[in-house]
Structure 1
Amino acid sequence: MGFPRGRRRLVLAVAVLLAVAAVAVVVHRVLAPAEVSTPARGDYPATPQPAPGVVGRLPVAPLIVDGRLRVYAAHRQVYADRPVDGRHRTTPYWSYRRWPAGLTGVVASGSTVVSRWSDGRLVALDASTGRVQWRADGPVPVRSTAVVRRTGAATVWNPSGLFLTDLPDGRTVLTVTGDTQASGVELSSGRELWRTDLPGDCRSDIGTTATGQLIGLDACAGSAMIEFRDAATGLVGGRWRPPGGPDDLVVTPLGCRTGRSGCLALRTAGPGDAGGRGWVLGSGEPLAAPALDPAGVAVVGEQAVGVVDGVAVGRSVRSGAELWRHTGLGPARVLTTQPGRVHLLTEANDLVTLDPVSGRLLSRSTLNVGSDGTGWTPGAMWADAGYVAVERLREPVDPNGGDQRYYLTSEAVILAAT
């Protein structure tokens, strides 16, 4: 015997409703906004002291945090591994995911790691545990049309609109800029200090100064002006342009502590590097520094370092006086810098590290690992905590090629201790 026809219809209707409800629950769980925090389960690693030379080969770009961890970026995840001098990427020490927002930038200061997301959310993590310290809502990031390469270097080494500034009173401010707004957030607590409107796409960010200012390039009124905004209050303290400078300025920050944060100087030029001029930053207007005029000169503290005819030359940033020379390099160029170190790359892809004050050789090693060889061109790079990380690009470089053609190997990033 079967069910009566009316009862069969009722059972069928109930079954359909239950199926729809089950699908709705699944869809909600999959698509609803969510975050997943997986904290560290082991001890916070000690700071290693590796010998100079290549220590690792990695598929993604590492941000060295607190001299102990490597932090990486994925599309919807920020995560860390250990040890910092590990040969390869390892199982995450901790991980933080969000959905459906995408990760747009990561910065770190001390043991605090701050991630920025496509919906404007800021999330600070404790590097030692991976646990959330605070959450805050910042300006929505500018929509970028740039190609995001698989190493994630742009997200962790040069995040757009995300800067750190150390104030004279000891506080650190996270300055965040977007399409139409900028804000300043106290790094220790996530407390918003200020928020202001921005004029739009006629203005761009350059970096922050070592004296606590956000540097912007504003062309909204015609000729480009460099503005200096107080990171503690958000107020524009001054606007300046180089005397006799071109209307269409190209501005490059120099001597930055990390990325484009805590910078000591600027280089201004016209399109195509026309009329390049160097300037020292301070509390007042920038001061002319002819030692910084040539392209390729780096700033470390009070020293300007460049390479001329295979000879590294150190000069005083302010006076231009020659302080030292280091010979025997052959064809070489300044690769990058960090406090107390200037890193040069030779034609044979040897990494040469010098003391910027004296020119003394600190280390020299070949950037080669396994059977990869040295036939590659450097791409994006980063230096901090005594380490240098470099993307290795396949020669000849094809900027429009896919990742497999663009990078030398699947583990495209080489990490060296100096």
Structure 2
Amino acid sequence: MVIRLLRVVVPVVVLAASVLIGWRVLAPAEVLEPATGAYPVAVTLPPGTTGKTTMAPLIVDGRIRVYAGARLVKADGPVQAETMYTPLWSYRRWPQRLAGVVAVAATVVTRWSDGEVVALDGRTGEPVWRAAGPAAGSFTGRTGSAAVWAPPGLHTAGTSVLIAGGRQLTARAAADGTPRWAVTLPPGCGDGFVTAGGRYVCAAGAWDVLTGHPVRGWPNGPFSAVGCDVARSGCAGLRDGSGQGWLTGGRRPERAPRLDAPDATAAGDLVLSPAGGAVTAFRAGREVWRWAGAARVLGARAGRVVLLAADLRAVVLDAATGAQRAAFPLYVPDERVEPWQPDAWQLTDGFLAVQRLGPDAGGFYTTDPVVVAAL
């Protein structure tokens, strides 16, 4: 009798245990590992490379590096660390996939495949607010560069984060998630960008980022943004549907014929043209300075223009005069020195992070493809 009972009970117990384990593994869950150490101190360093990372970092608040994984977001620091360190904090949602990340000051805003938006305190990793939204795409790539440097449907504008999904565009205060406005976009708008002058622009028009009101008098799209910060925000210029260039640092676009050239970009009120073996800066159509040498313009921040020279040096110029402030190779010490190609990057007031591809652009340059430098 006892043996028969055991034959019945044991399989039931095993099945129940399996169900419990399966539930614990597969059930929807959020796992937070908050920071236990001190928040890194912001530092000013001499120009030069500081380290390299396996994943693409979003540099936040000049103090930490935030990384995107398929189902988690995590941070380490300080920014100038030579390699990736044990996370200061991490946040995971199961079974959802991470769609993108943006940051405003020390607030890190994450968006997930189920449309949930969760804002984290970058100093601790603790959630500070959350909001529901339309379903989003999901994580792609190995390093997470698209999620942190060009997140679909996520943009920043001053103290606001803009969330786009379907035809809905919503602005929320980054600090506490307070809704500021919401609009329904016209058909065919697509995911747009935010200009330095405070406009959200898509193929069908422009909207004021403070009020959500439509703005008239814009050229016809579709548009190609130039001179943007990460998350396609703070864009200094655009080219319209006919290929004409416009500066977008003001409330209304300003025609800039020098920006018509496909390789030209914008930085503040400057048009930067890397052509003819030099980088030339134009203001109001007139040349104001010229740097001799072939280079790609990586952007402008804090009164400086940053170039990637043909010999893979970072060159830092004074934006007003073109005077060279610094130049250094974008390799860390003891790293193999071979040709590579820039794939994506982030430029902040004090740092530059560049994701590097191999010479044939068929794969990453080494297992730690992102080089970080102080400017």
Alignment TM-score, normalising by the size of structure 2: 0.92
CA separation of 1:269/1:351 partners in 2, compared to 1, >3 Å: closer, same or farther? farther
The residue identity in structure 2 corresponding to 1:412 is P
Structure 2 partner of 1:214: 200
Structure 2 partner of 1:356: 319
Residues 14-413 of structure 1 correspond to what in structure 2 (within 5 A)?
14-141=9-136, 143=137, 148-166=140-158, 172-198=159-185, 202-218=188-204, 227-238=205-216, 240-242=218-220, 249-269=221-241, 276-281=243-248, 285-316=252-283, 319-327=284-292, 329=293, 331-369=294-332, 370-398=334-362, 406-413=363-370
The residue identity in structure 2 corresponding to 1:24 is V
The residue identity in structure 2 corresponding to 1:241 is P
CA separation of 1:381/1:98 partners in 2, compared to 1, >3 Å: closer, same or farther? same
Superposed displacement of residue 250, structure 1 = 4.8
Query: Is 1:56–1:86's contact at 8 Å kept on the other side of the alignment?
Result: yes
If asked which structure has higher relative contact order (CA below 8 Å, sep 6+), I would say: 2
Query: Is 1:344–1:353's contact at 8 Å kept on the other side of the alignment?
Result: yes
Query: What is the RMSD of the two structures over their aligned residues, measured on CA atoms?
Result: 2.2
Query: Is 1:313–1:322's contact at 8 Å kept on the other side of the alignment?
Result: yes
- Kindly provide the CA deviation profile for residues 298-355 of structure 1, in whole angstroms up to 9, marking residues without a partner as x: 3222222222322222221xx212212223x2x2222333342211122211111111
Paired with 1:314 and 1:199, the residues of 2 have a C-alpha distance of 37
The residue identity in structure 2 corresponding to 1:278 is G
Paired with 1:148 and 1:137, the residues of 2 have a C-alpha distance of 22
Superposed displacement of residue 283, structure 1 = 6.3
Superposed displacement of residue 136, structure 1 = 1.2
- Kindly provide the CA deviation profile for residues 208-263 of structure 1, in whole angstroms up to 9, marking residues without a partner as x: 12343321113xxxxxxxx1123344443337434xxxxxx552223334441122
Superposed displacement of residue 199, structure 1 = 5.4
- Kindly provide the CA deviation profile for residues 18-56 of structure 1, in whole angstroms up to 9, marking residues without a partner as x: 322222221111111111111111111111222211111
The residue identity in structure 1 corresponding to 2:102 is V
Superposed displacement of residue 10, structure 1 = 4.2
Superposed displacement of residue 82, structure 1 = 1.2
Paired with 1:102 and 1:301, the residues of 2 have a C-alpha distance of 36
Count of matched residue positions in the alignment of Structure 1 and Structure 2: 374
Structure 2 residue matching 1:14: 3-state secondary structure? helix
Paired with 1:104 and 1:197, the residues of 2 have a C-alpha distance of 21
Paired with 2:359 and 2:295, the residues of 1 have a C-alpha distance of 18
Query: Is 2:219–2:240's contact at 8 Å kept on the other side of the alignment?
Result: no
CA separation of 1:115/1:8 partners in 2, compared to 1, >3 Å: closer, same or farther? same
Superposed displacement of residue 14, structure 1 = 3.3
- Note the residue ranges of structure 1 that are not aligned, 5 or more in a row: 167-171, 219-226, 243-248, 271-275, 399-405
Structure 1 residue matching 2:216: 3-state secondary structure? strand
CA separation of 1:284/1:346 partners in 2, compared to 1, >3 Å: closer, same or farther? closer
Superposed displacement of residue 289, structure 1 = 1.2
Paired with 1:321 and 1:39, the residues of 2 have a C-alpha distance of 53
Query: Is 2:249–2:269's contact at 8 Å kept on the other side of the alignment?
Result: no
Query: Is 1:113–1:127's contact at 8 Å kept on the other side of the alignment?
Result: yes
Query: Is 1:353–1:363's contact at 8 Å kept on the other side of the alignment?
Result: yes
Query: Is 2:55–2:144's contact at 8 Å kept on the other side of the alignment?
Result: yes
Query: Is 2:44–2:350's contact at 8 Å kept on the other side of the alignment?
Result: no
Which range moved further: 180-189 or 331-340? 331-340
Correspondence 1:417 to 2:374:
yes
Paired with 1:339 and 1:138, the residues of 2 have a C-alpha distance of 35
- Kindly provide the CA deviation profile for residues 99-145 of structure 1, in whole angstroms up to 9, marking residues without a partner as x: 1101110101111111111111111111111111111112221x47x
